[in-house]
């Protein structure tokens, strides 16, 4: 078996709103496939979701010094993922469970990278599918909402996915059509909104917004319109 040289989920970092929407849509598509084959990762955290960065580094990159050329000499800048679609992979299936068709999805066990999951137990059975939904929602909270400004449109989804009561969490099958509509209805102006780190200083914001305008990107003030558009679909 040959696999691509994978990079961490957030290396390079996300830069535009459309990149986040694209990731979420792909996650739900993959989760629905997992449920169709009755196979779960059981550990959907940032360290277990990676991407094939070949499209962002057409000339390749060093296997260790990953921001350098193949020979490790020259630093290389990635192409933006907003214009170069990447594929994401769930990895590390050591804690996954494969169920026969019609078998109960309930398991026991308290191991896992995400220890925030409320129902994890060595003794009381819980639904393995619902744990995956929780860990993905927690990932979106930590990786996007807590890192970037203007991500409030994710809160209804994150709150639903991380419900204390597992039965109240949405399934991937329910969420996928929602994200397909969001993705299809975001025009290029909104998709290219620059993500602002929560702790970005005023001087950093001015420089980055100015550079963004020089590249023809939409002004960051349009983020309010983006949030309004996306929220209408949640």
74: domain CATH number?
Answer: 1.10.510.10
Q: What is the pLDDT of residue 35?
A: 63
Q: CB 136: neighbour CB atoms within 10 A?
A: 26
List the one residue out of 42, 41, 71, 56 whose CA is nearest residue 6: 56
Alpha helix segments (H runs only) across 54-201: 128-140, 155-161, 172-185, 188-191
Both tokens of 173, joined, read 């099958």
pLDDT in tens, the chain (234 residues): 678 889 999 999 999 988 998 888 888 777 766 666 555 666 778 888 899 999 999 999 999 999 999 999 999 999 999 899 899 988 887 777 778 777 888 888 888 788 888 898 899 999 888 888 888 889 999 999 999 988 887 888 888 889 999 999 888 777 666 666 666 666 667 778 888 888 877 666 666 666 654 444 443 444 444 444 444 444
Q: What is the pLDDT of residue 214?
A: 44
In a domain, 1, yes or no: no
In a domain, 69, yes or no: yes
Q: What is the pLDDT of residue 40?
A: 63
Q: What is the pLDDT of residue 212?
A: 56
In a domain, 29, yes or no: yes
Per the listing, tokens 């909270």 go with: 141
Per the structure, the count of domains in the chain is: 1
pTM of the predicted protein model: 0.80
Phi then psi for 123, rounded to 5 degrees?
-120, -35
In a domain, 172, yes or no: yes
Give the integer Cα–Cα distance in Å for 74 and 124: 54
Phi then psi for 83, rounded to 5 degrees?
-105, -5
Strands 6-8 and 121-127 turn out to be unpaired
Domain hosting 85: range is 6-231
Give the integer Cα–Cα distance in Å for 96 and 76: 36
pLDDT in tens, 104-133: 888 888 887 888 888 988 999 998 888 888
Give the integer Cα–Cα distance in Å for 191 and 207: 20
Both tokens of 137, joined, read 């929602």
Q: What is the pLDDT of residue 44?
A: 79
Phi then psi for 148, rounded to 5 degrees?
-125, 150
In a domain, 121, yes or no: yes
Longest dimension (CA), the chain: 58
Per the listing, tokens 């744990």 go with: 131
Give the integer Cα–Cα distance in Å for 25 and 20: 9
């Amino acid at each position: 078996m040959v696999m691509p040289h994978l990079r961490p989920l957030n290396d390079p970092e996300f830069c535009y709103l459309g990149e986040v929407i694209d990731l979420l849509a792909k996650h739900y598509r993959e989760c629905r496939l997992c449920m169709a084959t009755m196979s779960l990762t059981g550990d959907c955290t940032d360290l277990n979701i990676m991407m094939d960065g070949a499209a962002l580094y057409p000339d390749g990159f060093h296997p260790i010094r990953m921001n350098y050329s193949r020979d490790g000499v020259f630093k290389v800048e990635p192409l933006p993922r907003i214009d170069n679609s990447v594929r994401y992979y769930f990895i590390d299936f050591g804690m996954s469970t494969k169920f026969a068709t019609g078998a109960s999805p309930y398991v026991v066990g308290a191991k896992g990278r995400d220890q925030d999951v409320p129902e994890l137990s060595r003794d009381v059975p819980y639904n393995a599918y619902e744990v995956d939904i929780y860990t993905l929602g927690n990932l979106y909270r930590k990786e996007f909402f807590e890192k970037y400004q203007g991500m409030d449109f994710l809160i209804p989804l994150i709150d639903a996915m991380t419900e204390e009561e597992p039965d109240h969490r949405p399934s991937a099958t329910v969420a996928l059509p929602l994200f397909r509509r969001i993705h299809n209805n975001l025009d290029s102006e909104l998709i290219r909104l620059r993500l602002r780190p929560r702790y970005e200083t005023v001087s950093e914001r001015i420089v980055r917004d100015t550079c963004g305008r020089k590249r023809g990107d939409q002004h960051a003030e349009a983020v309010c319109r983006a949030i309004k558009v996306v929220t209408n679909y949640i």
